[in-house]
Chain A
Amino acid sequence: MLKSINMIMLLFCLVLTMSQYTLLAETSNSGENFIINKTREISQNIKCLVCQNQSIDESNSEIAKDLKVLIKNKLKNGVSDDEIYNFLRDRYGDSILLKPPLKTNTILLWFLPFIILVFGSFFVIRFFKSNYK
């Protein structure tokens, strides 16, 4: 038993180092490609306000196109991700972000799943203890 746990640990470390290596290789991309990828990444998190449940990345509507151009230009000028998100949020409100920001009114949204998980684990562990042979 102990042997296999050691194996798992060893493997886990190996996988982790390997993945870090591949991650590093990816972030070294820069220039034109970097801007295109970054624009896509950001626009996937921006809701298309005239569509139903689509991000501007998926949408072909005019406003989505305009916003994508705007994001791209800002990235070219060296504006950071956070500044772009804040800019859009000030202009269109929180609902434009498909990933709701962590604020007082979204604390439950973000943490309730994990609180439920912790509570559930508590019950399961108690059940384990009372039924363990």
Chain B
Amino acid sequence: MIPEIGHIFLIITFVASIMQILFWIYNINSFHGFTVNILKKSALINFLLIMSSFFILTYSFIISDFSLLLVSNNSHSLKPLIYKISGVWGNHEGSLLLWVLILSAFTFLVSKKNSNINPKLLSSIIGVQTLILSLFLAFILFTSNPFERVETLPLDGRGLNPLLQDPGLALHPPMLYIGYVGLSVAFSFAVGALIIGEINREWAQQMMPWITIAWSALTIGIALGSWWAYYELGWGGWWFWDPVENASFMPWLIATALLHSVRVLEKKLVLVNWIILLSILAFSFSLLGTFIVRSGLLTSVHAFASDPSRGVFILIILAIAIGGPLILYAFKSSSFKEQKMQFNILSKESAILINNLFLTTATATVLIGTLYPLFLDAFNGNKISIGPAYYNATFAPIMAPVVFLMAIAPLLNWGQHQQKNLSKKFIFLIITTFFGIICLCIMEQSSLFALICGSLSIWLFSGVVTDIIAKIKEAKIKFNKLSQVFFFISKINLGIHIAHIGVAVFLAGVTGEQFYKTEYNGRKNIGDFFDVGEKSLEFKKIEMLDGPNYKSQTATFNLLNDGKVINVLKPEKRFYPTEQSQTTEAAILSDFLGDTYLVLGDGNKEIGWSIRVYFNPLISWIWGGACLMALGGLVSILQNRKYRKIIK
């Protein structure tokens, strides 16, 4: 009975959302607050109904109600509680319900926090959000109903794919979806502006915190996914240019471009058309990202529960949600009045423009790399594969200038005012970078690309340091008064600096992992000693252990340095009887300077086991850098009083 209530809630929300849309369209030209108030109330009701429905589904998972098809297909009574809960979104139907839950939450929050903007714009924003909501609810109700019952009650569930039974992956989809769906707010702001044909600087200020939240969540979501792939798949890598990874990376790139260009619009009414287009594109890529995983269009390790029969519905949604606004854009975009830009070549504006050029080109590159094999196959049946080598040759050189500019742009002024101490700052930046590069060359022998990558990281780091020092000097604060210095630093645009440092840290990690990684392969048996680089490993034993819902083959290795045991590594192979599948649990010894990564392969007592050992220098900096970027986003929201008013 309880699941039926959840189902009915969804149906009610769907019907109500269609009525709300009709109500909004009917009143689209009315100015009075009555329309907005109705739409605001209904946003709250939509949110509460979908949340109840989501909780009902979660409840069914927790009590293992196997009369629900979804639960019996994706859960098991023996599964730990946390994976029973994360199992809710570990499948197609449940993850879509999570998607609409987040969407309705965002709609409600926007209607509450942005109540001081033009009521006509606000009602359009809520209207567009509700339109997206109704499309997704239709998709859920007609093709992917999470509350479908089974015909005969099974004895137990079929379990969740063991690869997904993991704390990192429990959080990965919600974070990613907050990112994807958060971008819908920017989309609705853009479409709203197109509908009312009016835009101002306040529009940008109101939109900014939402983009920043979405961007931060997306950063964390992608980082979690990458971290999960690193420790769970046992391949030793962290990014595979897998189509599904690309699907989440493209909205991130566009959102990054948007995040920067909106700052220009906050200052002056310029680049209006471009920013509206970017807002529409960012969410379009989010939709594409959501559906690329779901439609079965692309095969990938992540593409669980794909069903081609849903494809048509997906295409219809994409056509309405992307095509509609683009047509509207084509007709209305020329109506916006823009101010004359009037900027210096050496200004933040021009740097951000170039940043946008390169970021959108980079997005296009990833899109081409992801979809080209599909189109070629459909066009003439030729099959090609695109691996990291393609992206190294195209994506990397396009992104390198972005990082190069990232160090310089914060040093420049807005607008047309000539900088006073610019050349001094540049000289400081160049000299510090130069010393950094020399240190790099002395410490490690490196190839040209390693040097470029490492230098960019140092360059960016120096850029941020230069900027902070210059600002302290300009404020005439003495460096020996530390408390004053810290107080001052806490008052400048700290968010941007933290995020940029995050990119520098990330790049340092990439340099270490890409160019200084070492690997050893071999077949070893119990009792073997073998050297791996400067250290050596001793294969102690291998044993069978029982986990909560799996059986594990656990090997024990001693890591020795100069004959002394410095650590014990326990790689596992797990067998999940319910799901009839196996996972590899690498033993990872992680510290600040690098990881030792040991994978146990197939084997037996006669022939030994195949063993892989990787030394991945600085690899944890990759995720550390991503966390700093996201933190930077959050700090910038908290710090900026303009935004704080909106969020509070």
Contact = CB atoms under 8 A, between A and B. Distances in A.
Interface stretch (B141-149, B167-175, B441-449, B615-623): B441-449
B380 A105 contact: yes
A45 B344 CA distance: 45
Count class of interface residues, chain A:
35 or more
Nearest to A62: B602
Interface stretch (B202-210, B236-244, B308-316): B236-244
Interface string A101-133: 000011011101110110011001001100111
A58 interface: yes
Contacts of B383: 93-95
Contacts of B422: 1
B368 A94 contact: no
A113 B365 contact: yes
A44 B340 CA distance: 51
B345 A100 contact: no
B365 to A, nearest CB: 4
A29 B426 CA distance: 39
Given A116-B364, A124-B353, A132-B345, A98 B389 contact: yes
Contact of B394 (A60, A113, A132): A113
Contacts of B423: 1, 3-4
B447 A131 contact: no
Interface stretch (B35-43, B117-125, B212-220, B354-362): B354-362
A19 B449 CA distance: 9
A13 interface: no
Interface in B615-635: none
B394 A11 contact: no
A121 B345 CA distance: 14
B387 A47 contact: yes
B382 interface: yes
Interface residues of B, number: 63
Given A22-B451, A100-B384, A131 B361 contact: no
Nearest to A93: B383
B301 A52 contact: yes
B338 to A, nearest CB: 10
A62 B237 CA distance: 20
A45 B389 contact: yes
B594 to A, nearest CB: 19
B299 interface: yes
Given A98-B385, A98-B386, A128 B345 contact: yes
Contact of B416 (A3, A25, A133): A133
A53 B416 contact: no
B424 to A, nearest CB: 9
A8 B364 contact: no
B344 A133 contact: yes
Residue among B343, B345, B385, B423 with the most chain A CB within 10 A?
Answer: B385
Given A105-B376, A131-B341, A99 B601 contact: no
B430 interface: yes
Interface string A1-24: 101100110010011001110110
Nearest to B236: A58
A117 B384 contact: no
B445 A22 contact: yes
Nearest to B383: A95
Interface string B383-422: 1111111100111001000000000000000001000001
Nearest to B377: A95
Interface of A: 1, 3-4, 7-8, 11, 14-15, 18-20, 22-23, 25-26, 40, 44-45, 47, 52-55, 58, 60, 93-100, 105-106, 108-110, 112-114, 116-117, 120-121, 124, 127-128, 131-133
Lowest 3 A-B CB distances belong to which pairs?
A98-B387, A99-B389, A131-B341
